[in-house]
Chain A
Amino acid sequence: AQTVTQSQPEMSVQEAETVTLSCTYDTSESDYYLFWYKQPPSRQMILVIRQEAYKQQNATENRFSVNFQKAAKSFSLKISDSQLGDAAMYFCAYSHGDYTGANSKLTFGKGITLSVRP
């Protein structure tokens, strides 16, 4: 069974600084997808970034980027130029859907609460 571990329950960052959120996972599959989701206090879960395991290049979305280390089964999220609106709970998630994308079950980590200091 796949597992996702986020060992840091909370982190804090100064506004405009950079922060890295850690995530490790365990799987015996070679083809899978990894995600970071953000859940602000309003509670709507939003996809931040996704990474396909077969791609060596790290995904980037504006101020968000990942450091994907497949051999180490590590998938960290870097937030650059942190903003007050980045304060939220962040979840790392794993998916091994079939080739059609059906039943793309997500396995989530416990999440990390990020606070941003003004």
Chain B
Amino acid sequence: ETGVTQTPRHLVMGMTNKKSLKCEQHLGHNAMYWYKQSAKKPLELMFVYNFKEQTENNSVPSRFSPECPNSSHLFLHLHTLQPEDSALYLCASSSSGTGSYEQYFGPGTRLTVT
């Protein structure tokens, strides 16, 4: 256990559905991240939040909508996804102000778009 939890662990959704992924960290961190992990590709950083403010959006399609209500919670709202969006979505957190740069990851949500 890394102190970062994600729900659900598995999700199957149709292209017209709307669903949300949830991430929660219990480490007192103030930066949170969404990554997409596809087979045979490097991890792709999607969004970065620092103290609840979005500080990075890596040209992610608008069908992915992040939300960070506080430093402990991060959501990824999904709508009208495409089959190529099927992947493992990883959440991570890190601490700023301590000079510690490592990120702690959750177990991921395996998303299948049908």
Q: Which residues of A contact B (CB under 8 A)?
A: 4, 33, 35, 37, 42-47, 50, 91, 95, 97, 99-106, 108-111
Q: Which residues of B contact A (CB under 8 A)?
A: 2, 30-31, 33, 40-43, 45, 48, 50, 55-56, 88, 90, 92, 94-108, 110
**Given A35-B102, A105-B48: 18 more A-B contacts, CB < 8 Å:** A4-B42, A37-B105, A42-B107, A44-B2, A44-B105, A46-B105, A91-B43, A95-B102, A101-B94, A101-B96, A101-B100, A102-B30, A102-B55, A103-B56, A106-B43, A106-B103, A108-B42, A109-B42
Main secondary structure, interface of B, reads: loop
| Residue from B41, B50, B105 having most chain A Cβ neighbours under 10 A | B105
Q: A44-B2, A45-B90 are in contact. Are A100 and B103 (CB under 8 A)?
A: no
Name the contact of A46 in the complex, choosing from B2, B48, B108 (C-beta under 8 A). B2
The residue of chain B having its C-beta at the shortest distance from the C-beta of A98 within the complex is B96
Docked complex Cα distance between A100 and B101 (Å): 9
| Residue from B42, B92, B105 having most chain A Cβ neighbours under 10 A | B42
Inter-chain CB contacts under 8 Å: number: 75
Q: A43-B88, A105-B48 are in contact. Are A50 and B102 (CB under 8 A)?
A: yes
By a CB distance below 8 angstroms, the chain B residues around A43 are 88, 107-108, 110
Main secondary structure, interface of A, reads: loop
A103 in contact with B31 (CB, 8 Å): yes
Docked complex Cα distance between A100 and B30 (Å): 12
Q: A43-B88, A46-B2, A91-B43 are in contact. Are A104 and B106 (CB under 8 A)?
A: no
- Can you give 23 A-B contacts (C-beta < 8 A)? A42-B107, A43-B88, A43-B107, A44-B2, A45-B90, A45-B92, A47-B102, A95-B102, A99-B99, A101-B94, A101-B96, A102-B31, A102-B97, A103-B31, A104-B94, A104-B101, A104-B102, A105-B45, A105-B56, A106-B103, A108-B42, A109-B42, A111-B42
